[in-house]
């Protein structure tokens, strides 16, 4: 049976979220509190001139769409929010959340409208969601729209994360709207009109921790149980029939998936920037790409979020702890479902065990130490490496790629200068090596070389293993900003090229060396390249 469709008309929808969960009885699309309902029916607001910028071929394949489907003139109309296909039943979801550690009450899909659940290849179910498609009952004082710069960042990063091997939501398309949007990017009283855009996000589900929290906070037990039962049956079908034991098992699985996701963030140097509980997926997927960033110079205390600049709650090195804190808030929402606090606490302990194991295993893999043998000095080796990267302002991505090139077998015969040469390009100021740092770095490399030789791997095999887990190309903020600058002038070519580059982040791509360079000096303090606001 051929499940690839040349036309958009081949998409089929089975909207179980709407069918199985309580709906908002009020059809009025006005900003308000919504009680006792998981979703509100609302249609996207049409835009003047939707134009397709780019589409992900891999996501089209997931949906069973042939590449030629983008040539359908309805493609930009549908995924820009102007037209609905048969079977689409648009809605916005109700949820709450803790924002920066404080309970914020009802939040909900304020600028995201789900079109329905498409049945893709192999019968897999994919929720299609338009971000920036207009106001919903959850928009509060906002307009429900998104600007081009934030949409480019979300579109590119969603796909880049997938190809890096990080659990993530996906992005099907990026469409400009032909509509100007007013935004104060830095919240400094200087709003400006910017081009608008819509991203079509794709995931098995966009259910968040906050979907459960809102009902628990309001003591609305019936919709809470209905949501738990739907989530269990639809997304965790192997855990048994709904009931306390199955709810505990589901929470345990959420903890385990979250641990794996966070460990992958740490592996590739990703900083989410706004780990509020409403931005945490129940499926352990990276969700809501706002003020994110990649570590350029390695700094465990760095956050890309201007809102978080003072307290640095969501800094890189704190992400594993924040995920535990968020899971604890989810556990509180599960208490009435489960009744056994001890079982939930045990699952939280399981998260700690899992994140520690994943993070350690990935750290060792990044160093090329993948054998079963563990050395008592491995922990000190890793800690000293981190201290060196911080002290010498080192690009994390390029450091690990350079480390794979170090001649660990010829180390005894190499001078300090020759031994450290593969890592010079990772330093933001190579002159620091002349200030005594070369000796410290070379000393660490000699310890590292001795340790790698104990693994017994040939140099080429070690390099190959390291390069398989240490990316060469990551979606650096300054690269996204360069693409944004061009797109805002009507040239979308760099968006499309970055999408293509990020499809193969671990493999050297001839002619694309410029996409593997560390952050240039001009980007060190430029908005969009170093720090971003929640509207970025």
Catalytic (active-site) positions: 278
Three-state secondary structure call for residue 16: helix
Report how far Cα 530 is from the mean position of its chain's Cα atoms. 18
Q: Tokens standing for 468?
A: 């398989």
Of 35, 13, 19, 148, the C-alpha closest to 88 is 13
Contacts from 165-168 at CB under 8 Å and sequence distance 24+?
Answer: 165/264, 166/261, 166/264, 166/265, 166/268, 166/270, 166/286, 167/257, 167/260, 167/261, 167/264, 167/283, 167/284, 167/285, 167/286, 168/285, 168/286, 168/287
User: Rounded CA gap, 521 and 41, in Å?
Assistant: 48
Cα dihedral 385, 274, 54, 267, rounded to 10, equals 20
CB 493 within 8 A of CB 486: yes
CB 157 within 8 A of CB 289: yes
Q: For 354, how many CA atoms within 13 A lie in the half-sphere containing its CB?
A: 21
Burial (CB count <10 Å: 0-12, 13-18, 19+), residue 233: middle
CB 364 within 8 A of CB 378: yes
User: Rounded CA gap, 294 and 391, in Å?
Assistant: 18
Burial (CB count <10 Å: 0-12, 13-18, 19+), residue 108: buried
CB 263 within 8 A of CB 351: no
Q: Tokens standing for 214?
A: 């809102």
CB 358 within 8 A of CB 263: yes
Q: Tokens standing for 14?
A: 């089975």
Q: Tokens standing for 473?
A: 């190309």
- Residue whose structure tokens are 């998936």: 257
Three-state secondary structure call for residue 4: coil
Cα dihedral 379, 385, 391, 392, rounded to 10, equals 180
Three-state secondary structure call for residue 133: strand
* Number of residues assigned to the chain: 536
Q: For 21, how many CA atoms within 13 A lie in the half-sphere containing its CB?
A: 31
Residue 99 contacts by C-beta under 8 Å, 6 or more apart in sequence?
Answer: 107, 276, 278
Please give the angle made by the CA atoms of 378, 380 and 382, to the nearest 5 degrees: 70
Three-state secondary structure call for residue 387: helix
């Amino acid at each position: 049976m051929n499940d690839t469709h040349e036309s958009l008309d081949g998409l089929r929808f089975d909207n179980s979220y709407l069918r199985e969960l309580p709906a908002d009885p009020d059809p009025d699309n006005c900003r308000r509190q919504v009680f006792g309902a998981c979703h509100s029916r609302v249609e996207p607001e049409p835009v003047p001139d939707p134009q397709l910028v780019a589409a992900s071929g891999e996501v089209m394949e997931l949906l069973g769409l042939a590449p030629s489907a983008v040539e359908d003139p309805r493609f930009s109309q549908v995924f820009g929010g102007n037209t609905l296909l048969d079977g689409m039943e648009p809605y916005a979801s109700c949820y709450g959340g803790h924002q920066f550690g404080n309970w914020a009450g009802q939040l909900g899909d304020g600028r995201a409208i789900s079109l329905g659940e498409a049945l893709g290849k192999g019968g897999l179910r994919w929720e299609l969601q338009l971000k920036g498609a207009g106001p919903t009952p959850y928009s509060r004082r906002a307009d429900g729209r998104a600007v081009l710069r934030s949409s480019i960042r979300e579109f590119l990063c969603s796909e880049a994360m997938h190809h890096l091997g990080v659990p993530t939501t996906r992005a099907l398309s990026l469409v400009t709207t032909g509509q100007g949007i007013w935004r104060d990017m830095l919240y400094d009283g200087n709003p400006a009109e910017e081009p608008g855009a819509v991203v079509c996000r794709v995931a098995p589900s966009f259910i968040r921790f906050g979907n459960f929290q809102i009902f628990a906070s309001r003591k609305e037990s019936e919709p809470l149980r209905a949501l738990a039962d739907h989530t269990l049956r639809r997304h965790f079908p192997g855990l048994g029939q709904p009931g306390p034991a199955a709810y505990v098992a589901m929470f345990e699985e959420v903890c385990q998936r979250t641990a794996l996701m966070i460990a992958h963030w740490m592996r590739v140097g990703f900083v989410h920037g706004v780990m509020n509980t409403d931005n945490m997926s129940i499926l352990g997927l990276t969700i809501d790409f706002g003020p994110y960033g990649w570590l350029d110079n390695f700094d465990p205390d760095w956050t890309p979020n201007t809102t978080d600049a003072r307290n640095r709650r969501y800094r890189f090195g704190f992400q594993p702890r924040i995920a535990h804190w968020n899971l604890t808030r989810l556990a509180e929402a599960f208490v009435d479902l489960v009744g056994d606090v001890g079982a939930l606490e045990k699952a939280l302990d399981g998260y700690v065990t899992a994140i520690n194991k994943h993070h350690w295993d990935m750290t060792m893999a990044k160093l090329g130490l993948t054998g079963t043998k563990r050395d008592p000095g491995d922990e000190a080796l890793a800690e000293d490496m981190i201290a060196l990267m911080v002290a010498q302002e080192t690009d994390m991505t390029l450091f690990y790629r350079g480390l794979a090139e170090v001649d660990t077998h010829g180390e005894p015969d190499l001078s300090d200068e020759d031994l450290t040469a593969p890592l010079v390009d990772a330093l933001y100021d190579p002159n620091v090596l002349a200030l005594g740092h070369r000796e410290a770095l070379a000393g660490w490399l000699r310890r590292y070389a001795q340790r790698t030789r104990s693994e017994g791997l040939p140099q080429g095999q070690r390099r190959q293993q390291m390069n398989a887990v240490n990316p060469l190309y990551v979606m650096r903020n300054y690269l996204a900003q360069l693409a944004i600058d061009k797109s805002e002038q009507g040239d979308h070519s760099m968006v499309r090229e970055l999408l293509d580059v990020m499809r193969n982040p671990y493999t050297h791509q001839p002619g694309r060396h410029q996409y593997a360079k560390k952050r240039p000096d001009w980007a060190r303090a430029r908005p969009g390249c170093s720090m971003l606001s929640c509207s970025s």
